[in-house]
């Protein structure tokens, strides 16, 4: 298998114990993180209240990502910071994400939530991917939880790109 510079860069950026699948997971999350935060910063504050019919607003979308970056790790064994109020009770996420915030506050919450997510991801190694954890009241493997985490982030990255383009904002990496 031919290794590219990107493969080496992602492995170097991952925690020391993460050299296989988890190194790839950290690298992928970092790429989505950079794009989501880039979009959050690029969107003008007056677009944060914009929403397509029946969907989350721009600000709500970014806060949803932040809330789940705290909520999902609870099942991985990493409690959310006390100041978020997020617990294993799903209802606690709504209380966190529904507080009024400015664009700058939302960007800061998003950035902090990704730091927390990476810390939680460090609890999963290639060696314990098959370990069972309670996830949304069901028995899941750590691997399945990681796959959900990554696909969830990509889902909302696509949504954020559509929101940006609908508001005539070109994603920073496309300029």
The C-alpha atoms of residue 80 and residue 104 are separated, in whole angstroms, by 21
Q: Count the residues in the chain.
A: 175
pTM of the model: 0.87
Per CATH, which fold does 53-174 belong to? 1.20.120
On whether the CB atoms of residues 149 and 117 are closer than 8 A, the answer is yes
The C-alpha atoms of residue 27 and residue 1 are separated, in whole angstroms, by 19
Question: Domain locations in the chain?
Answer: 53-174
pLDDT tens, per residue, the chain with 175 residues: 333 333 334 434 445 444 689 999 999 999 999 999 999 999 999 999 999 999 999 999 999 999 999 999 998 999 999 999 999 988 999 999 999 999 999 999 999 999 999 999 999 999 999 999 998 889 999 999 999 999 999 999 999 999 999 999 999 998 8
Q: What is the CA radius of gyration of the chain?
A: 17
On whether the CB atoms of residues 64 and 73 are closer than 8 A, the answer is no
What's the DSSP call for residue 141? E
31 Cβ contact partners less than 8 Å away, ≥ 6 residues apart: none
Instruction: Find tokens 């914009």 and name the residue.
Output: 50
CA distance to 3, 101, 134, per residue, from 97 (Å): 41, 9, 23
Surface-to-core class of residue 72, CB atoms within 10 Å of its CB (0-12 exposed, 13-18 middle, 19+ buried): buried
């Amino acid at each position: 298998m031919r290794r590219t510079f990107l493969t080496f860069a992602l492995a170097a950026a991952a925690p020391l114990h993460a050299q296989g699948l988890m190194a790839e997971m950290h690298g992928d999350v970092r790429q989505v993180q950079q794009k989501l935060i880039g979009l959050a910063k690029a969107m003008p504050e007056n677009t944060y209240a914009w929403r397509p019919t029946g969907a989350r607003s721009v600000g709500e979308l970014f806060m949803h990502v932040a809330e789940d970056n705290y909520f999902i790790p609870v099942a991985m064994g990493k409690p959310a910071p006390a100041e978020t109020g997020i617990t294993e009770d799903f209802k606690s996420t709504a209380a966190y994400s529904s507080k009024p915030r400015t664009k700058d506050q939302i960007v800061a919450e998003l950035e902090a939530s990704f730091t927390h997510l990476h810390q939680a991801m460090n609890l999963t190694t290639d060696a314990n991917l098959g370990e069972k954890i309670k996830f949304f009241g069901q028995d899941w493997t750590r691997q399945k939880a990681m796959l959900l985490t990554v696909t969830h982030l990509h889902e909302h990255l696509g949504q954020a790109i559509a929101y940006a383009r609908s508001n005539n904002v070109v994603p920073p990496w496309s300029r």
